[in-house]
């Protein structure tokens, strides 16, 4: 066990704390978010089959693919007997009822799907408030799902004021969180400013590690230190085959939430291979 002092000074408050790291998590998590892609079932099946073949002999990596809702039943069948699990990209904050176009966590669970992403930056941009994210988290847990909770600041400032935004997102999203279900929680850090065509910069492994430690501190106040240290923290800001090694190595990420490269079986296979060697 390696005790490590970390100092955070964001201009308005100072954190000095001792964080004790256990050995790195033995199983890395590589999750692929397909977003609204592909647009044909033929391409969906071809892409998934390519990924499934590429991980058949991989050890020490948990692989999850989150396709559009419409493809969940087909991919769930294809996933049987393999090492790739299928998850949802989102769920409703309601159990059932007059919610045209929505899909409930109970529907997802009834398909045999066990995980869902919640709070992705694109869903937040579409209107999901911290309160809605919180209700989605609680509903998904009640339905028996694991939750990949996405958080991330829109702007990175040099004084560290953005840490307040991360803390607020975590505390509000996890309000009323049943601590006994902490083993169903995964946090994915995705700095919005570093994602997509409107990116204003690139996150670094050191930057991620800084924020991972901060995330664990906030989680320790919600879940307790022991359970907080067991929650995987993934990196999800334009993660790809080129930067995977750095974030999993120097950045000490417990895994990655991959967007575009998860639709390319060759690139995704490379990321999974890198993860299998990152111990």
Residues designated catalytic: 120, 190
B/e letters for 27-66, b = 16+ CB within 10 Å, e = fewer, are: ebbbbbbbeeebeeeeebeebbeebbebbeeeeebbbbbb
The DSSP symbol for 119 reads S
**Within 13 Å and on the Cβ side, how many CA atoms surround 223?**
26
User: Closest Cα to residue 136, out of 122, 116, 163, 157?
Assistant: 116
Our separate counts of H helices and E strands in the chain read 10, 10
- The CA-based angle 132-221-141, given to 5 degrees, is 40
């Amino acid at each position: 066990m390696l005790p490590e002092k970390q100092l955070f000074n964001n201009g308005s408050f100072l954190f000095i704390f001792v964080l004790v790291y256990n050995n790195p998590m033995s199983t890395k998590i590589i999750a692929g978010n397909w977003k609204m892609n592909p647009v044909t079932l033929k391409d969906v099946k071809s892409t998934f089959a390519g990924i499934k073949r590429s991980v058949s002999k991989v050890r020490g990596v948990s692989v999850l693919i989150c396709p559009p809702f419409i493809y969940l039943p087909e991919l769930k069948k294809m996933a049987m007997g393999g090492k790739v699990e299928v998850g949802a990209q989102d769920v409703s904050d309601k159990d059932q009822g007059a919610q045209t176009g929505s899909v409930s966590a109970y529907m997802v669970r009834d398909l045999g799907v066990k995980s869902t992403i919640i709070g992705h930056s694109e869903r937040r941009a579409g209107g999901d408030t911290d309160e809605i994210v919180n209700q989605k988290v609680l509903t998904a847990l009640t339905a028996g799902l694991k939750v990949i909770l996405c958080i991330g600041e829109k702007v990175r400032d040099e004084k560290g004021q953005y840490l307040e935004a991360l803390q607020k997102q975590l505390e509000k999203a996890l309000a009323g969180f049943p601590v006994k279900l902490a083993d169903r929680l995964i946090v994915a850090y995705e700095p919005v400013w570093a994602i997509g065509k409107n990116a204003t910069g690139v996150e670094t492994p050191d930057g991620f590690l800084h924020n991972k430690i901060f995330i664990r501190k906030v989680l320790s106040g919600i879940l307790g230190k022991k359970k907080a240290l067991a929650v995987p923290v993934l990196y999800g800001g334009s993660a790809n085959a080129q930067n995977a090694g750095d974030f999993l190595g120097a950045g000490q990420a417990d895994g990655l939430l991959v967007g575009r490269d998860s639709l390319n079986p060759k690139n995704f296979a490379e990321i999974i291979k890198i993860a299998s060697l990152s111990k």
